[in-house]
Every structure is written in C-alpha cells, then in structure tokens.
Chains A and B, each alone.
Chain A
C-alpha cells in the first residue's frame, strides 16, 4: 500500500512484538520495532512515525516517562498496552497525553479499530475542520453551538455543552476524569469526580436512546470517557 502509515512498536516481549509486526504489516502499515524505552524515543525522533504503540512494562524506563518524552516535542498519537495490574500507570500515561489504551490480552480487531481511530483523529486535528462533528444520529455544530439527535435539537446547559465540546474536540480519544474536570470545571474541581459523573449521566439521558448502553458517550470504567467516532 502506498502512503502507508509508520507505526513504532515499543515492547520488550518478543512474542507480542512478533504478533504486532505480522498483523500490522499484513494491514499495510510500516512497522518499526523498539525493545526499550530509550530505543523507542530515539526511533520516534528519527522516523517521524504516524503512531506509537507503547507497552507500559518496559525494562529500562517507566512507560509514563516515555509518553512525557514524546509529548515534549510531538503530538503523535500514542496507544498504550497495559496489563490488568497496571491501572494506576495507565491513568498516569493517559493524563500525560497518551491517546488510548488496550488491556492485554486484546484481539486484533480491537487493536486495528483503535489504530484507525487514532490516525483519523490525528489527521482531523491537523487536516480540514468544517466545524461540525457527527457520529450516527448525533450532530454537534461547534460554530453555531447546536446539538441535534436524529435531526431534533437537544437543549443543553452550559456545563453540559462544555463537557460535550471537550469530548468532541478529542473525539475517539480516551479522556481521563481528571482531564475532563480540569477542562470543564477548572483546576479546583479535579477531586470532585461525582460532578462529572452526574453531568455525564444527564447528558446521556438527553443524547442516548438507552443511557445504560450508550452509543456515543462511552464509559472507560475506572479511567474516564470517550466519544465514539464511528
């Protein structure tokens, strides 16, 4: 495939690397492998990749440090691979600027979907901006501040709208509770996660058909929220 995206895989486990390499190559991506965090950072600086897949359990340095290192000079999408016992590290990495995460073990379908979203999101931010976000029946007109579901306009409070706007701005990306609280309510509200949950609840009741099984406003349990992009 021409114009193939370059993906750097930073992972110390040879078997996982092999599996990622085979799968991604067969999908037409250029794959660059790195075994350590330092090697990963060096590759990221020289290869100008389109996406980085980063394992949190690296032998030489903390995965969170790697994310900070990359975010120091670039906004390349970063997808984290974590084990179940690394909840805290995962959230730290997301707070540090990682875009998405996958918990091991994960399937290929899931992986490819995340990669697609991340690459699209990246191009959307850098590419054309019509000012209207739409997914399924939901349409958010950022310029006219108008929200419709299936053509019917939905009335939102200012905070509800602000919350939705932040999600739209980072559509497809996992946003941690902390980040959302800071963006919508301000730095003083970082500890009041229940605000976010209550407003997310009302927002869902206004936008979703079945709030218990959301279609747009997805819950990343214990981490935060994500706005679906397809």
Chain B
C-alpha cells in the first residue's frame, strides 16, 4: 500500500503553496460571458453578506452603469474616493491604489479587472493593481468577462468580429482562489437589454449592437462555461493529487512551439498555450533566425518580437536560435530540451512551391521520428489589423525598433548604387580584356562583381547586380555587340546559367556573411559577459563592484546605469559615493523602492509604470533583494533582441551575486573580528585577574597583619610588611599605567606632543624615574655628543625607555649590566637597549611584541605582557619601527629607529661669559 501514500515532496509543495496563499489576500472573480449578466450585482450581494458577517469591506471601484438595482446594493458600503487623473484635457476617474493600501480593509471590491489605467498611473492595467492589493494581504472581489481572457482573446474576436484590446493574463485568472460563474441564458440577457436594464457606455454602444447577437452570446456563454469547467477539472486533479489518487502515470509533457515571421505566429502561440494548459505541460516558444529570415522587413521582425513577448506573458519560455537549416536546428533543440511535442503553423506556401522546395513541416515530420507534431491552422485575416493596438505600439517603442529605419533606408540606397557601379566596373574591365580573352572569362569578371556586392550589401543589391551583369554582358559583348539582340540562340542558355550562378553565389555569400555576423554577435555577448564576470571576481569592496558593474552595463547596452541600494532601514537611497554617472539623478526613488519591494522590473516598456523614462531591474541574489539597477536607454535597439535581454538579465544576476559575495565576505570578516576581540578580552581578563590579584593578595594580607598584630610585631617585621605592601602597590600602579596607555593608544586617543629635543634628556628622565628599581643593574649610556635633535613626544618616548629598562631588569639577574646606545644610520636614528641576560628565546623575536605575550608564563616577573606592545605602538606613532634580536655575546637587544628630519635652525651666540 506504500504506493498509495502521498509523495512527501508533493505534500510539502502543497503546504508551501497553502502558506503563500495564506499570506496573500484571497482573490474571488465574478466571471461572466458578457456585459449585463449581473457580475457587479453578484459581487455586491456577496460583499454585503461578508459585511453582515462583520468583515471590514470597502468598495474600491464599482461600475454600476447607473443600473438602479445595482446602485441600491452599493448603499451602506464604504466607498473609497476615486483618484482624478487629467489626461488630454479630460478628467478620468481611476481606482486609487495607494488610498486602498493605506486604508487596508479586509476585503475590497475592484470591478472590471481588465480595465486599462489612465497613462501616468503606477500600473498599466488594473489587474496589476489587484495583484498588489493581494500581495498586501487584502482580499479582493473583482469581475471580468470571458472575452478579456488573454488566451481566448483571438477566438472571441473571430467569433464576434469585434477586437478586444483589454486583456487579462491567464495566470491572473488561474491564481484566483474562487471563480464564481454568473450565468444568464442569452434569451434572458436579450430581454433585459430590451427592457433597458443593461446600460452601456456610449462609446461601446455601436459595437454593442453587433456584439449582442444571439449567436455571439451563445458562443461566449459556451466559452465561459467551458473555461469554468476547465478550472473545476483542474481543482479535481489537485484534489486527486492531495488524496493520492494516482491511477494514471504522469508524463511530463513539454511543447516546443516554432514560430515564423508569418501572421499566424500569434495565433500559433495562443493555440499552443491552450494545448499546454490542457496537457499541464511546460512550453517553449522558439524563433529560429536563419539567413533568409534575417532579411525580413522591420514590421515582420517587430511582429516576431511581439509574439515572443506575448508568449512570455502567457507563461512560455522563449528562445531565439540561429542556424542555417531551420528544421535541423529545431529538432536538435527539441532533443536537448526533451520536448515531447512540436507545434507548428500550417504551411502558407503555395502548393507548387511546397512541392518544389519542400516545407518546414514536411522536413520536420521526416526528421522527428519520435516527437509528436501538431500543425495549427491559419487564423482569419482581420486579427492582423486588430493587432496594431496601443499596447503593442508601446512595446515596439520599448524595443526601440522605430529609430533605425532612416539609417537602413540610407544603407539600402547605397547598396543599390554600388550594385550599378560594380556592374559598370566589371564591364570596364571586360572591355579592356575583351580582345585577349574568351567570352566565358568575361562572365567570371561579372560574377566577381556579384560576389563583392553580395558580401557588402546583401541580397537585394546582389540580385540587381546579377541581372545588370547579364544584361550588360549581352549588350556590350555578345555578338552582335551594342544590341540586346542575340545572334546565336545558344547564348540564351549562357544567360540563364550565368544568372542562376550569380543568384546562387549571391545567396550563399549573403548567408555566410549572416552566419558570420550571428557568430560575431554571439561571440561579443559571451566576451562581454566573460569580461564582466572576470572583473567582478577579481574585485574587492562594494564601491569597486558598483563601479565595474555600472561601467560594463553602460558599455555593453549603451545605457546610463546606476545601482541604487537600500539603507539600513530598507529604503532605497541615492548613492553616496562619487564616480557614479549622473543618470541616477533622473531615477525615481519611489519606483526603485517598488521594484526593490516586489522584485519585479518596472519603468519604460514594462508592465509597471511603462510611461517612465528609465527601466528599473531588481538585483536579486540567493539571499534576497540586493538593490535596483536603473537604466536610461540611450539606444533602445541595443536591448531589443531577446538575446540581448537575456544577456542583460545575466549581467544583472552576475552583479547581484558579486554584491552578495562582497557582503558575505564583509560579514564573515566582522564575525572574525568579533571573535578576535572576544579572545583578546578573555586574554586581557585572565592576565589582569592574575596580575591584579597577586599584588592585592599581598597588600591585603600584609596590611591586615599590621592592623591586627601591630603590638606583637617587632620593628623588623613591621618594616617587612610595609615594604611588601609598598612594592606590590607600585607594581599594580605600573600595570594600571600600562593598561591605560594601551587603551589610549588603541583608541587612537593619543595625540603626540612632538618637540625637537636631544635624546639625552629623555634617557635622563627615564633613568631618573626608574632610579629606585635600577639599584642592582648598572646602566651605561653611550650617546654620541653630536646626535641630532629628534622631534618626539618626550613623555611617550620616556615610556618606551622606562618599559625597555624595566624589561631588562625583570629578565636579567641582579648585577647584569644594561647598555643604552644610539647612532645615526642614513636617515634614521637607531637606539638600542641591550642587556647581558639570557636573551630572547629563538623564534620569539617577533612574538614578544604581541599583546599579553610573556616569555615565561606565570613566572615571577610581573606585568601583563603589554610593555613591548606599547613601546612598538609609540615608536610606530612616531613613524619609526621596532625590532628585537640577541647580541652575539648573549643577551637581548631591543632596537628602535626614528626617522630623522631637518631640525629647525637656531641662532648661536658666540660671546662667552664673563
């Protein structure tokens, strides 16, 4: 029975989905076949019920069309004020998304899901407003008609003959938690219409006359019912999945849809979408760019881009392939992606052509033995015109396909001019060699001209030069010369073959050139990506990453780019550092914030704020959102091709990952530093607790003894106790001084009070201060009489000498001599304090400068092991260096070098006194 248990992964997925749904608001769609069936009415009824249950209900936007019974239902519901938008001298009243988000009711009514918002609104479409409401956790009731569903759009246009501009992506409908079908039989609807119960906006009246035909209504009703039934079916399947009802093997289907430049492409995509839905399959839409297809007109290329965009909106993955043989390329791709079915459009070529040259469909059917092939029929014509709607023209603008036209026209004219010139030159050369060579060789000269033109100016000019070549050859060289007449009819064959050869050569040359260009493009894309990732990988520091990212993006895509990052509170702010291009001044922080919060792109050409000047892309890394990349497109054509867009996406993710890497590294460093600080603190605590407790114990013991037993103690004993109290207290004072010095040096609180002075005086000061402890260590000072003045802080430098002398006393037996000497060495004054004790253990020469390092742990020597650390810090603060070694004769030598600079001048007096 094990097989009957639900798959844990599937269950987990189910739970996760349920959780995401819980966080999101619930969407209920009142779904109808056409206007007037009572969707708004049904929605209001449901809303009133919710309110009666005590729910916080607000009417965000309700279109009553002044129907009395509907308006009555609206009474008593809280109405959200509409937002007035001025557009072309008219005031439009729009749903106020921000007010709704601010009011944040439990349930909001937003009618007409397919509505297009007025230009300048945050989102182009109302369904996007609804998405945002849902994201904010607000439940939404909305209404939509079947003709607005994206994938059914074309069918309905065909049925009713009326194009519908406003569409809602299927994904939005599918994401609804509940769909309530509001059904009204066509007869009743027509009756209501007759009775005047269905009021329509004036602009739609004329269309409505055609629309509300019984045939249309029946068809629409059927579509709406079928759509709802599909959904119920899907629910049923979900249910079966939940309850481990798995009687059929589930094979993951994957459709590969091949679109071409023809008008059927969009139809094909919609049909494929429906098929994919039905099969619950993934689907991929590909466009194979062959040499021939490269020559398409601008309109046709536009159409392809539109179709790919549409496919993406419908949930397909899209790809553009380039290759020489369409069918082979397609099959190869299908195999690498494990496609189970290929969807193709019906061949549009005339039958004879198909018979002569074959067709893609035939070729694929021949080659794809194990893959199912679906061939989709042609759509009616009127849709092609219908497609010139504002939405598409906008995406055309976005893709920047309008601007290049002039340039292309220019190049086109030049090409044809060169075709003529090349033929003239060929004729000239032939003229010169005519007397010495066969006619056949002259043909070669003309063919050469054709090749040159084909290589440089493409197909049109090369075809022209082929024809011109044949004509010139005939006119100038074929007898009778200087006439088109041909004396020998066999020349007709020559002409035909010459023309054919010229055409084939030109075709092949053009193809090769195109292949090279495609390869070149691809090469450049890969190279630019490689350059970016290589530089990013070699870079440390967020500033540098940003600089490199902005530079590469700007170079490759011809944009002005800026990376906008959030501050500590998650608000996007303008970058602080310099070196960012000025473009970020044009960026709108609120849009960037929206992009950052939602992880979706916005701005020009996107679905959100398409009217903006800039494009905003989210920088998303594995740990979450990093920031926003704002782009000002200088040449929109640069990011028009889908491949370039994909490259841009790759760039964006590379940048996001690089930023994330830097942040993680910084975080790791912080943790490391914290650990080290922690360790240091522990060492400090243990050192201090030992070094403080020992003298304290002696002091407390000795002083309490003095207090308690002072009568019984003799003078000698009292002296002993007093002496030990004094010595231990002095030791503690020394430790406290060192700790204080260390803390001040580390905190950077020490400001050197540097003055020009002889070293002798500092040495003298230190020796005087240490005199009580130097009784058993003879010190010899050897300072040359002519030592230059040094600019030092005398108090600090005295600490250095005091610490060095104290160490020498501490680590050598009594009676050991200590030497202080100094000498100038080039531009340094090198000072050495040496003793004749046991010296520094081998390998410890550097470690003795470390904090809390002591040569003999827990030894009799006091001190926290800070002395040399402080010395080195002081010397370094003076711009010097400090090191240690052992004398050849034994004994430790501590050296430090101070930089020598020109001392200030002094006026000397000559006269002596008296």
Residues of A within 8 A of B (CB): 84-85, 87, 105, 107, 145-146, 155-161, 192-195, 197-198, 200-201, 204-205, 210-214, 218-222
**B910 nearest in chain A by CB position:** A157
Contact, CB under 8 Å: A87 / B795: yes
Q: Which of A157, A195, A212, A219 contacts B906 (CB 8 A)?
A: A195
Contact of B781 among A87, A193, A212 (CB under 8 A): A212
- Among B856-914, those with CB < 8 Å from A are 903-904, 906, 909, 911-914
The answer to whether A157 touches B794 (Cβ under 8 A) is no
Contact of A221 among B730, B795, B903 (CB under 8 A): B795
Contact A84 B740 (CB under 8 A): yes
B365-423 interface with A by 8 A CB criterion? none
Contact A213 B783 (CB under 8 A): no
Q: Which of A193, A210, A214 contacts B756 (CB 8 A)?
A: A193
Whole-angstrom CA separation of A197 from B737 in the bound complex: 27
Find B761's partner among A84, A145, A160, A201 (CB 8 Å cutoff).
Answer: A201
Cβ contact of B768, chosen from A156, A204, A218, cutoff 8 A: A218
A222 to B737 Cα, complex, angstroms: 17
* A219 near B781: Cβ-Cβ < 8 Å: no
Q: How far is the CB of A192 from chain B (nearest CB, A)?
A: 8
Establish whether residues B789 and A198, one from each chain, have CB atoms under 8 Å apart when the complex forms.
yes
Q: Is the CB of A84 within 8 A of B753?
A: no
Q: What residues of B have a CB within 8 angstroms of the CB of A155 in the complex?
A: 912-914
- Contact of A194 with B914 in the complex, beta carbons under 8 Å: no
B760 at the interface (CB under 8 A from A): yes
Complex CA–CA separation, A18 to B213 (angstroms)? 114
CB-based contact B795/A145 at 8 Å: no
Closest beta carbon of chain A to B727's beta carbon, Å: 11
State which size class the interface on B falls in.
35 or more
A194 to B, closest residue via Cβ? B756
The answer for the CA separation of A201 and B737 in the assembled complex, in Å, is 29
Could you tell me if A221 and B765 are in contact, using CB atoms closer than 8 angstroms?
A: yes
Q: A85 to B755, alpha carbons, bound, how many Å? A: 20
List of B residues within 8 angstroms of A204 by Cβ: 760
Nearest CB of chain B from residue A207's CB, rounded to whole Å = 13
B760 near A212: Cβ-Cβ < 8 Å: yes
> What's the nearest-Cβ distance from chain B to residue A141, in Å?
11
**Is residue B169 contacting chain A, with contact meaning CB distance below 8 A?**
no
Q: Is B767 an interface residue (CB 8 A)?
A: yes
CB distance from A201 to the nearest CB of B (A): 5
Once the chains bind, are B904 and A222 in contact (CB under 8 Å)? no
Closest chain-A Cβ to B745's Cβ sits at a distance in Å of: 14
Q: Which residue of A lies closest to B791 (CB)?
A: A194
B781 touches A213 (CB 8 A): yes
Look across to chain A and name the residue whose beta carbon is closest to the beta carbon of B737.
A84
Contact call B767/A213, Cβ cutoff below 8 A: yes
B490 → chain A, closest Cβ, in Å?
A: 115
Q: CB-defined interface of B784-812 with A at 8 Å, one 1/0 digit per residue?
A: 01000100011100100000000000000
Contacts of B762 in A (CB 8 A): 221
Partner of B903, one of A194, A205, A212: A194
Contacts of B761 in A (CB 8 A): 197, 200-201, 219
B64 at the interface (CB under 8 A from A): no
Query: Given A155-B913, A211-B760: A221 and B729 within 8 A (CB)?
Result: no
Q: Chain A residues near B795 (CB, 8 Å)? A: 87, 221-222
A195 and chain B: residue at smallest CB distance? B906
Nearest B residue (CB) for A198 = B906
Question: B584 on the interface (CB 8 Å rule)?
Answer: no
Residue of B whose beta carbon sits closest to that of A155: B912
Knowing A161-B913, A221-B769 are in contact, say whether A213-B906 is a contact too (CB < 8 A). no
Complex CA–CA separation, A160 to B756 (angstroms) = 19
Whether B909 contacts A159 by the Cβ 8 Å rule is yes
B757: CB under 8 A from chain A? yes
**Chain B, 823-867, CB within 8 A of any chain A CB:** none
Contact A145 B914, beta carbon cutoff 8 Å? yes
Q: Which residues on the A side are within 8 Å of B906 (C-beta)?
A: 194-195, 198
Q: Is B171 at the interface (CB under 8 A from chain A)?
A: no
CB pair A198 B764 closer than 8 Å:
no
Q: A105-B733, A159-B909 are in contact. Are A197 and B764 (CB under 8 A)?
A: no
Bound complex: CA A192 to CA B755 (Å): 9
CB distance from B753 to the nearest CB of A (A): 7
| Pair B760/A157 contact, Cβ less than 8 Å | no
Whether the pair B760, A222 counts as a contact (CB closer than 8 A) is no
Task: Tell me whether B758 is interfacial, beta carbon within 8 Å.
Answer: yes
Q: A107-B726, A222-B753 are in contact. List 7 more A-B contacts (CB 8 A).
A: A156-B912, A158-B913, A198-B758, A204-B760, A211-B764, A219-B768, A222-B798
7 A-B pairs with the lowest CB-CB distances in the bound complex, closest first: A221-B765, A194-B756, A222-B795, A212-B781, A197-B757, A219-B765, A221-B798
Min CB distance B909 to A, Å, is 5
Is B655's CB within 8 Å of the partner chain A?
Answer: no
Complex CA distance for A3 and B755, rounded to whole angstroms: 46
Q: Which residue of A lies closest to B732 (CB)?
A: A105
Residue in contact with A201 in the complex, picked from B753, B755, B760, CB distance below 8 Å: B760
For B914, what are the chain A residues with a Cβ–Cβ distance below 8 Å? 145-146, 155
A193–B757 touching, CB < 8 Å: yes
Return chain B residues, CB-CB under 8 Å to A157: 909, 911-913
Q: Which of B761-781 contact A (CB under 8 A)?
A: 761-769, 781
CB neighbours (8 Å) of B793 from chain A are: 222
Bound CA–CA A192/B904 (angstroms): 9
- Rounded to whole angstroms, the CA-CA distance of A159 and B766 in the bound complex is 27
A210 to B795, CA, bound (A): 21
State A218–B768 Cα separation when bound (angstroms). 9
Closest-CB distance, A190 to chain B (whole angstroms) = 13
Report how far A194 CA is from B729 CA in the complex, Å.
37
The distance from the CB of A106 to the nearest CB of chain B, in whole angstroms, is 10
CA distance A85 to B736 in the complex (A): 12
In Å, the complex CA distance between A195 and B756 comes to 9
Chain A residues within an 8 Å CB radius of B911: 157-158
Given contact pairs A159-B909, A195-B906, A219 touches B764 in the complex (Cβ within 8 A): yes
Q: Which of A160, A192, A194, A219 has the most CB of B within 10 A?
A: A219
Within 8 Å by CB of B909, from A85, A146, A158, A201, lies A158
Are A197 and B769 touching (Cβ within 8 A)? no
A-B contacts, 24 listed (Cβ < 8 Å): A84-B737, A84-B740, A85-B740, A105-B733, A145-B914, A146-B914, A155-B912, A157-B911, A157-B913, A158-B911, A158-B913, A160-B913, A193-B755, A193-B756, A193-B757, A194-B757, A198-B789, A200-B761, A201-B760, A201-B761, A210-B781, A211-B760, A221-B794, A222-B795
A-side contacts of B756, CB under 8 Å: 193-194, 197
Flag if B758 contacts A197 (CB, 8 Å): yes
Q: Which residues of B contact A198 (CB under 8 A)?
A: 758, 789, 906
In the complex the two chains form, is A194's CB within 8 Å of B755's CB? yes
Chain B residue at minimal CB-CB distance from A159 = B909
List, in ascending order, chain B residues with CB within 8 A of A195's CB: 906
Smallest beta-carbon distance A175→chain B, Å: 15
Question: Quick one: CB contact mask for B747-759 with A, threshold 8 Å, 1 for yes?
Answer: 0000001011110
Residue of B nearest to A106 (CB): B733
A214 to B762, CA, bound (A): 12
Residues of B within 8 A of A84 (CB): 737, 740
Chain A contacts for B794, CB-based, 8 A: 221-222
State how many angstroms separate the Cβ of A91 from the closest Cβ of chain B: 10
Residue in chain A with minimal CB distance to B766? A221
Most buried by B among A157, A158, A192, A212: A212
**How long is the Cα–Cα vector from A159 to B753 in the complex, in angstroms?**
26
Q: A129 to nearest B CB, angstroms? A: 21
Is A212's CB under 8 angstroms from B757's CB?
no
User: In the complex the two chains form, is A212's CB within 8 Å of B913's CB?
Assistant: no
A212–B912 touching, CB < 8 Å:
no
Closest partner residue, chain A, to B798 (CB atom): A221
Closest B residue by C-beta to A144: B914
**Please, how many angstroms separate the alpha-carbon atoms of A171 and B753 in the complex?**
27
Q: Complex: how many Å from CA A161 to CA B912? A: 9
C-alpha gap A85/B749 in the complex (Å): 12
A193 to B791, CA, bound (A): 11
Bound CA–CA A211/B763 (angstroms):
10
Tell me the bound Cα distance from A89 to B913 in angstroms. 38
